[in-house]
Amino acid sequence: MMQNLFSLKGRVALVTGGSRGIGKMIAEGFLTYGARRVYVSARKAAACDAAAEELSAIGECVSLPADVSTLEGINGLVARIAEREDKLDILVNNAGAAWGAEFDTFPESGWDKVVDLNMKTPFFLTQALIGHLRAAGKDHVAKVINIASIDGQSVTKDETYPYGASKAGLLHMTKRMALRLAADNIAVSCIAPGAFASDMNRVARDQAEAVSKSIPAGRIGTTEDMAGAAIFLASRAGDYVTGSAVTVDGGVSFAR
């Protein structure tokens, strides 16, 4: 047992926002550590298909494009999963959005987009897939991993009001969902990333050297850093972690 603590052999996973950035890092890690099949979902079909094709060099990766910002999109994605799988071992709620604007002019449209995708979507997608997760929970601990942010744990100077608020809400919702679903042998946990190169965090992507100066570890996060945290939570090693957040930020949240 101890030799297989981090193995994902035989497991099936769904990663939303899996075509790029943190989601793609996690999908790559799952496949590398033996996942039987990883579904990646993203709003842009071409990007989703390209990511799945690239990751298929490691293991079976299937593209399921979907807009999970709406209940219609969520239900459509779940229907496509149900056509292919009787159970789902791992769900990673990674799809998210950010919006920055000055306080005096911050638009309602930006607020609604960010809060709906960052906080409402993880709840309703998990709800829609609960039958598949419970089925997996009959064999071992099924996993729901929500991707939050250190901006939900501490305050940034950036005027991204609904982003931090929604990620703080997701951290709290993770705790509540964990209490409810533990009885179904489903562990719900969270990752709170710091600076990783992505389209959402273009500053870290395009100005990594400058950003690294404010990080105690001296660098931004890598694919291995993010994949390692997700593999830990998704595998047997993380079975006893429920309701908690793993902060992966090189210490930057303590230096703010």
Hey, what domains does the chain have and what are their CATH numbers?
Answer: 2-251 (3.40.50.720)
C-alpha span between 126 and 78 (Å, rounded)? 10
User: Catalytic amino acids?
Assistant: 163
The pLDDT > 90 percentage for the chain reads 86
Write b or e for each residue in 24-53: b if 16 or more Cβ atoms lie within 10 A of its Cβ, otherwise e. Answer: bbbbbbbbbbbbebbbbbbbeeebbbebbe
* Helix 130-137, helix 121-128: angle, nearest 10: 60
**pLDDT the model gives residue 207:** 61
Residue 214 — pLDDT band, cuts 50, 70, 90?
confident
Mean pLDDT of 66-80: 97
Count of CB atoms situated within 10 Å of the CB of 101: 14
Quote the radius of gyration of the chain (alpha carbons, Å).
17
**pLDDT the model gives residue 208:** 56
C-alpha span between 176 and 133 (Å, rounded)? 17
Which of 226, 148, 142 is closest to 178 using CA atoms? 142
The position carrying tokens 């719900």 is 188
Phi-psi region of 21 (alpha: psi -120 to 50; beta: other; left: phi over 0): left
Residue 177 — pLDDT band, cuts 50, 70, 90?
very high
Judge if pTM exceeds 0.85. yes
C-alpha span between 118 and 86 (Å, rounded)? 27
Longest dimension (CA), the chain: 57
Element (H, E) at 89: none
**pLDDT the model gives residue 3:** 82
What token pair was written down for 118?
A: 């960052």
**pLDDT the model gives residue 2:** 82
Residue 233 — pLDDT band, cuts 50, 70, 90?
very high
- Residue bearing the bigger pLDDT, 9 or 217: 9
Count of CB atoms situated within 10 Å of the CB of 2: 6
Res. 183: pLDDT tops 60: yes
What token pair was written down for 28?
A: 């790559």
